[in-house]
Amino acid sequence: MAELDDEAFFRRPATQVNAVALIVKHLAGNLRSRWTGFLTSDGEKNRNRDDEFVVGPQDTRSRLMAQWDDGWHALEETLETLDQTDPQTIITIRGETHSVQQALLRGLSHAAYHTGQILYLARMWKPDAPWLTIPPGESKSHTPGYRTP
């Protein structure tokens, strides 16, 4: 995302396709809601999900990125507090029960899905940006130990 200028960050590729800014806003809201009070309160709280798909005048890039950081921080703090007895603990998300293990898989796959969308859009808007992974055609020349011949 750092490679995108503000115009690209807020650009929608089509009417029914979210901009990077909207994905950031949505995932930030989801992460904060799910991972704050994870073991003690319903995972759907303090959130207006529909508003996460609308860019308002208050939604500056810096504010959205601060919310993004807060959401990831909530996840990281929660992961640090979990212990080996927690995976089978039952929690609720939108009134539905889940084991902690199910909620972790659900939440992390949701985050991975949207992160992939962001990466795809960033590559589309800025195709010459540095690769976050091994660039195409460079797998064999990557550092030894990454991949065995």
**42-92 pLDDT per residue, tens:** 999 889 999 999 999 999 999 999 999 999 999 999 999 999 999 999 999
Q: Rounded to the nearest 5°, which phi and psi values hold at 59?
A: -90, 70
Q: How many domains does the chain have?
A: 1
Predicted confidence (pLDDT) per residue in 35-55, tens digit: 999 999 999 988 999 999 999
Domain containing 98 — which CATH number?
1.20.120.450
pLDDT of residue 147: 53
| Residue at 138 is within a domain | no
pLDDT higher than 90, residue 134: no
Predicted confidence (pLDDT) per residue in 97-124, tens digit: 999 999 999 999 999 999 999 999 999 9
pTM for the full model?
0.90
pLDDT higher than 70, residue 144: no
What domain range includes position 84? 6-125
pLDDT of residue 42: 95
Percent of the chain's residues with pLDDT above 90: 85
Tell me the pLDDT band of 135, cut-offs 50, 70 and 90: confident
Contacts 24+ apart (CB under 8 A), 37-46: 38/78, 38/91, 38/100, 38/103, 39/86, 39/89, 39/91, 39/100, 42/92, 42/93, 42/94, 42/95, 43/91, 43/92, 43/93, 43/94, 43/103, 44/93, 44/94, 44/95
Averaged pLDDT, 16-30: 97
Would you say 131 and 40 are in contact if contact means Cβ atoms under 8 Å apart?
no
| Residue at 105 is within a domain | yes
| Residue at 44 is within a domain | yes
pLDDT of residue 149: 52
